[in-house]
Amino acid sequence: MKRHFIFIFLLVAAYRADAQKVTGFPSFQLDFPYPTADKPQSKLWFMDSCWWALLPTASGPSLWKRGNSGWKEHPEIRNALKNIPGRADVWYDNRMVTAIGVSDSSLHIFRLAPGAGSDASWKAETLAILRLPQKDRHIETATIVQDTAGVWWIAADVGTAIYVWHAEDAVQWSNPVRIGENISDDDISCITALKDKVIVTWSDQVGDAVHYREHMNEDTPGKWSPITAVESGNNTADDHLHTAVSDDGTLWLATKNSLDEITLPQLVLRVRTPSGVWNNYPYLAREDVTEPSRPVVVTASGSNVVLAGHTIYNKNDRNAGSIVFGMIDTTSKEILVKQTVVIIPDPSLKAMINDITVPKHAFPPDAPWLILASDKHGNVYEADLKPFFH
């Protein structure tokens, strides 16, 4: 059986962090709390041998480049996108960034493109604004992808329903199509592009299930597979979802359940094989003091490696949390193989670390494997996963 190794962020008392590799202080600060949120969204991409990030500020989105001397903002984007929602999900392809900004009452699709040269100014344009299909309904988050046929898709939770939109050019968008309903207004969704389809997964705390529907690229836009449960029962659902896809087409879905009991697994890794078979792997027990939350996953190009991460909350001291990870072998009984810590804020900051963001596409083989996390003061922390496990 093919072995897949997944790096999962895990913290217990027996684990030791390498102090020389663990981040204690932030790389930069924004005027926006937890700027690396939301749970299923991606805000990082790798381009021109550099890492880039699109993060919210009080006035709108901001663009950041990671150079040899650290992170530096491209201020022209903050100026060009003033008053556009900064909580955005990013799709990067061919030196072009298409993003969706989320507000309570609308979705804003916009595009960023660099000029010639690594330090040239970027241009930004708003492509479309989508209004919510239900009056006075709250939207928590939204995600955007482009399928392999070139069609754009957006999925969002709107009140107690899941909606999707599509567009040929990311400018002229369809009317919303409701593909799920009767969920909690606390539930969320995530859309992911596979080789020949897109798949929308969502939590359903009312029905106690994690559901999905698929749309084949060759089908008409309104044709979706029936609602199917990845797993149901035993408090399997919570509003925590994040996906990644391996080179072979394996879909990795990191979730949190609602068991919320000491010594029982708090997170569930849900794996869809290229042939469409789902397997569920509960992991990371909730302990008296520590609690895992907000899992994410990311793949590494050209290998069987899959990286996943989460926050560890400390119930005795909310400012003592951390970002940690370990290796999982899905063919082993234990699942977890080894673990380590990657980010611990310095105690003087009095800040709870949270909300990991990773690239939507695979980590590049010849570059650092960067992730970001943040705190309520707007501090943004980085960690390079490559020295730990590559």
What's the pLDDT tens digit per position in 171-222?
999 999 999 999 999 999 999 999 999 999 999 999 999 999 999 999 999 9
The pLDDT value recorded for residue 23 is 76
Q: According to the model, what pLDDT value does residue 53 have?
A: 98
Across 15-19, 306-310, 342-346, least confident range? 15-19
What pLDDT sits at residue 132?
Answer: 79
Q: Is the pLDDT of residue 306 over 80?
A: yes
- What is the pLDDT at residue 137? 74
Cα separation, 355 vs 286, in Å, equals 18
pLDDT per position as a tens digit, 134-162: 665 789 999 999 999 999 999 999 999 99
pLDDT score recorded for residue 118: 63
Confidence of residue 21 (pLDDT cuts 50, 70, 90): low
Say yes or no to pLDDT of 18 above 80: no
Quote the pLDDT of residue 242. 96
Which percentage of the chain shows pLDDT scores above 90?
Answer: 81
In this model, does residue 11 exceed pLDDT 60?
no
**16 pLDDT more than 80:** no
pLDDT value at position 14?
33
Kindly tell me if the per-residue pLDDT of 17 is higher than 70: no
| Residue 1, pLDDT above cutoff 80 | no
| 262-276, 305-319, 331-345: which is most confident | 262-276
- Per-residue HEC secondary structure of the chain comes to CCCCEEEECCCCCCCCCCCCCCECCCCEECCCCCCCCCCCCCCEEEECCEEEEEEECCCCEEEEEEECCEEEEEHHHHHHCCCCCCCEEEEEECCEEEEEEECCCEEEEEEEEECCCCCCCEEEEEEEEEECCCCCCCEEEEEEEECCCCCEEEEEEECCEEEEEEECCCCCECCCEEEEECCCCCCCEEEEECCCEEEEEEEECCCCEEEEEEEECCCCCCCCCCCEEEEECCCCCCCCEEEEECCCCCEEEEEECCCCCECCEEEEEEEECCCCCEEEEEEEEECCCEEEEEEEEEEECCCCEEEEEEEEEECCCHHHCEEEEEEEECCCCCCEEEEEEEECCCHHHCCCCEEEECECCCECCCCCCEEEEECCCCEEEEEECHHHHC
* d(C-alpha 95, C-alpha 87), whole Å: 21
Q: Output the pLDDT for position 201.
A: 98
User: Does residue 103 carry a pLDDT above 60?
Assistant: yes
State mean pLDDT over 310-336: 84
pLDDT at position 337: 66
**For 336-346, what is the mean pLDDT?**
84
Per-residue model confidence (pLDDT) at position 12: 34
- Whole-number percent of the chain with pLDDT over 70: 92
Question: Over the stretch 249-292, which tens digit does the pLDDT of each residue have?
Answer: 999 999 999 999 999 999 999 999 999 999 999 999 999 999 99
Distance CA 386, CA 390 (A): 5
pLDDT at 10 over 80: no
pLDDT at 289: 96
- Rounded mean pLDDT of the chain? 90
**pLDDT score, position 7:** 39
State how far the Cα of 158 lies from the Cα of 294, in Å rounded to an integer: 21
* pLDDT score of 98 more than 70: yes
In one-letter notation, the amino acid at residue 303 is S
Over residues 60-74, mean pLDDT:
96
Residue appearing with tokens 């029905």: 207
User: Averaged over 233-237, what is the pLDDT?
Assistant: 97
182 dihedral zone (left: phi>0; alpha: psi -120 to 50; beta): left
| Dihedral Cα 175, 180, 184, 186, nearest 10 deg | -60
Cα–Cα distance, 365 to 163 (Å, whole number): 35
